Amino acid sequence: MIFILNLVPSQKFQNEYFLVKHMGYDCIVVGAGTGGTTAARTLALKGYKVLIIDRKKKEVVGDKVCGDAIGKHYFDTLNKLIGLRYPTKDECEANIDGIDVISPDKETILKIQGEGIKGYMINRLKFGQRLLNATIDTGVEFLDNTSVISPVYEGEYVAGVLTRSLESGEKKEIRGKVIIDASGVNAVIRRKLRNSSVERTVQNEDVIVCFREIRDLNHEIEDPNFCKIYLTQSISPGGYVWVFPESITRVNVGLGVQNIPNNPHPRKQLYAYVLQDALFEESTIVHKGGGFVPTRRPIWSQVTNGLLIVGDAACQVNPIHGGGIGPSMMGGYLAATNVDRALEKGDLSERGLWEYNIDYMKEYGAKQAGLDIFRLFLQHTPDDELNYGMKHRLLKEEDILSASLGEDLVLNLTEKVKRLFSGIGKLGLINRLRKISSKMKEIKGLFQNYPSPEKLEAWKTEVESIYTETFEILK
C-alpha cells in the first residue's frame, strides 16, 4: 500500500497511476529502519521526491530484535542537523547513565560513566514508528509489505529496484535517479551488485549471531540506570552477554557469539548459563528473538554508480558492542547530504557520490576501524588473561570510555602495573596490547585519509597488511 497518495478505487487505474508516479523519483530508499528513514527524511526536507520501501507492514516497521540501547550524543548531533527529536517518555524505557563491564570471573567490574556514555533504552517499535511517520510527514511516499528483490541496471548504473508485493506476489520495476540500500543486514541490493568496488559479501567470522529476551522480573533490580556487559569467551565465544534495564523490573537480556562453525547456539548458551541466575527466578518472557550484527570495519566503498549503502548493509556498526542504531542514522544523514550534492551537480556516478565515503570515514568509519582491531584482540584473549588485565586495571575506566568513543587506546603502564604483570609471566599480554594499540592508531589514520577511487586498491592493500600484522600479533 502507498501512503500519502490518494488511492483511487480501480486496480487498473491504481497501477497506471503508480507507474506514472514512480518514474519520477529522485531517490528510492530500500528499508525503513533507522538508517533508511533518516536518509529519506533528510532528502525530503531538502525538497526531493523520495520513495521508501519496506517488506514489513506499516504498523510493524521498527519492530526489531535488538538490545534497544542508544547513546544520547547521536540525538545531540542529529537534533541540530535535522531536528531529530529526543526520545519521548512514551518511547524511552529507561535513561542510561553508564555501563558496567564485568570480567569473565565476575570479580572485577569496570564502571564506565560520563557524558559520552549517557543514553536511552528505547522501545524499538514506538521509536521506529515515530521515525517512519516523521518521514511520511515530510512528503516521502511509503510502499509497505513489499520486498525488494534486486537492483535494476541501466548500463553501468543502478537505476531502480525490482520489487515483489507480499500481498499479491506481483513484481514491479520502480525507477529512481539514485538508490539507497538501507535494508539492514540483508543488504539486498549490495549482495546483487555487478562489478564494483563494493564488497558483496561479509565473512561469517565478522558477524555476531545473537539471541535475546525481554523479561519481567519478580523483584526490583539494583541499578536500573546501568547496562551490564559480561565478557566471557567460554560462554559467549567472540561476543558477550548483556543485561540492559528497561525498567526497575524489566530487562533486555541477550547473548551473542561469533558466527563460525562449532560455536554454540546463543539461545542454548543464554538458557544454560545466564537465565540460571537468581535474577531471573520466576521471571516471565515479554518478547524473544534472534538476529545478526556485522561487527567489523565499514565495507571498502559504500557507493557505486547510482547507489549508496547505509547502516548494517554497509557494516556501519560499533565492532565492540554491536551498537548500530546511531551510526545507521548518521550514515543515513551523510548519504542524503551527498545525494543532494550529486543531484545538484548532475553526477550520480561512483565519483559523483564518492564524497559520502570520505564523510562517513571521517565521522565514524575511522573509529570503527580502530575498534575493529580491538575487537580482534578481545576475541583472541582467553578469559584468564582478561580477568588478570581487568583486575589490575591495564586499561582504566576513563581510558575504556575514551577508547570506546574512538579515541586512542591509552594503557595504564605505571611501574607498579609492569612489575605486577612481569611477576606472574603476563608481560606478553602487555606487549600484545601495546602493539594492538599502535595498529589501532595506524588503521584509524588510513581511514581518516580515505583515498580517491583511483587509489582505492593501493589503500586496501595497506589496510589489509594491518590486519595481517594484527593476526600475527594475536597468534
Residues lying near ligand FAD in the complex (CB under 6 A): 30-36, 53-56, 61, 64-70, 147-148, 182-184, 186, 188, 210, 212, 254, 291-293, 311-313, 317, 322-326, 328
Q: How far apart are CA 379 and CA 264, in angstroms?
A: 15
For residue 424, the minimal CB distance to ligand FAD (Å) is 36
Nearer to ligand FAD, 92 or 188 (CB): 188
CA distances from 248 to 43, 116, 243, 475 (A): 39, 23, 12, 44
For residue 5, the minimal CB distance to ligand FAD (Å) is 19
Assigned C-alpha cell, 276: 540460571
Assigned C-alpha cell, 233: 569467551
**Phi, psi (rounded to 5 degrees) for 371:** -70, -25
For residue 149, the minimal CB distance to ligand FAD (Å) is 7
Nearer to ligand FAD, 364 or 388 (CB): 364
Nearer to ligand FAD, 35 or 104 (CB): 35
Nearer to ligand FAD, 182 or 436 (CB): 182
Residue 341: closest CA among 313, 308, 302: 308
Q: How far apart are CA 394 and CA 412, in angstroms?
A: 5
Nearer to ligand FAD, 269 or 437 (CB): 269
The torsion of the CA quartet 376, 315, 370, 122, rounded to 10 degrees, works out to -100
For residue 90, the minimal CB distance to ligand FAD (Å) is 19
Task: Write the DSSP string, 301-338.
Answer: -SEETTEEE-GGGGT-S-TTT---HHHHHHHHHHHHHH
Residue 411: closest CA among 433, 444, 441: 433
Location of C-alpha cell 525490482: 162
Query: What single-letter amino acid sits at 92?
Result: C
For residue 38, the minimal CB distance to ligand FAD (Å) is 8
For residue 312, the minimal CB distance to ligand FAD (Å) is 4
Q: How far apart are CA 365 and CA 368, in angstroms?
A: 5
Cβ(39)–Cβ(335) below 8 Å: yes
DSSP at 52: E
For residue 233, the minimal CB distance to ligand FAD (Å) is 19
Residue 303: closest CA among 363, 345, 347, 344: 347
What is the bridge-based pairing of β-strands 98-102 and 50-53? unpaired
For residue 127, the minimal CB distance to ligand FAD (Å) is 10
The set of residues, in sequence order, having a beta carbon less than 8 Å from that of 28 and lying 6+ positions away, is 50, 51, 52, 53, 160, 161, 174, 175, 176, 178, 179, 180
Query: What single-letter amino acid sits at 410?
Result: V
Nearer to ligand FAD, 65 or 221 (CB): 65
Nearer to ligand FAD, 293 or 307 (CB): 293
Residue 41: closest CA among 300, 335, 312: 335
The set of residues, in sequence order, having a beta carbon less than 8 Å from that of 132 and lying 6+ positions away, is 32, 37, 58, 61, 62, 142
Q: How many CB atoms lie within 10 A of CB 36?
A: 31
Nearer to ligand FAD, 31 or 306 (CB): 31
Assigned C-alpha cell, 388: 588478570
CA 327, chain centre distance (Å): 6
User: What Rg do the C-alpha atoms of the chain give, in angstroms?
Assistant: 23
Nearer to ligand FAD, 293 or 403 (CB): 293
For residue 326, the minimal CB distance to ligand FAD (Å) is 6
For residue 457, the minimal CB distance to ligand FAD (Å) is 27
For residue 56, the minimal CB distance to ligand FAD (Å) is 5
